[in-house]
């Protein structure tokens, strides 16, 4: 049984990235499972730090992007939005090139807070970063475009 509210598809998720940090960083949603999302991000000039490694902040931006979208997928989108209230990340392995893939799965998706486990892998499918992201579900204050 799916944890998502309604029909969630790749096109819908990628359309959310238009004119956002996600689009600038070339984050691309690639898979929707019944209880997970996957997204990729290239390791390049936009995402590297001065020493040629994937910037830890870029990994965190990828984690927060996929986690925020996951909360959005799980709620009544006509009434609520999910806003990030806490994120942490442990960077386990340096990445210098290629594509990283984030896999977002739920730890808790009920009530006013959602907690997501996000694991980021390099092109060799080696674990590079582990993140935990918490969103607070709030009443929708405005219409999203």
3-class secondary-structure state, position 60: helix
For the beta sheet containing 37-42, the strands, ordered from the edge strand earlier in sequence to the opposite edge, are 28-32, 37-42, 99-110, 113-121, 127-139, 80-91
Q: Report how far residue 145's alpha carbon sits from residue 141's, in angstroms, rounded to the nearest whole number.
A: 13
Q: Please confirm, yes or no, whether 64 is among the known catalytic residues.
A: yes
Among residues 64, 86, 125, 126, which one is catalytic?
64
End-to-end CA distance of the chain: 29
Give the number of other Cβ atoms within 10 Å of residue 73's Cβ: 22
Provide the annotated active-site residues: 64
């Amino acid at each position: 049984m799916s944890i998502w509210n309604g029909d969630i598809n790749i096109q819908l998720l990628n359309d959310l990235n238009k004119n956002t940090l996600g689009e600038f960083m070339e984050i691309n949603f690639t898979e929707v499972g019944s209880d997970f999302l996957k997204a990729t991000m290239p390791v390049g000039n936009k995402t590297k730090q001065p020493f040629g490694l994937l910037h830890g902040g870029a990994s965190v931006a990828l984690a927060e992007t996929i986690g925020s979208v996951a909360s959005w997928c799980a709620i009544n989108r006509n009434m609520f939005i999910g806003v990030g209230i806490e994120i942490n990340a442990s960077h386990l392995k340096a990445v210098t090139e290629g594509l990283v893939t984030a896999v977002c799965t739920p730890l808790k998706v009920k009530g006013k807070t959602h907690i997501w486990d996000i694991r980021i892998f390099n092109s060799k499918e080696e674990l590079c970063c582990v993140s935990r992201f918490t969103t607070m579900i709030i009443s929708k204050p405005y219409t999203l475009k």
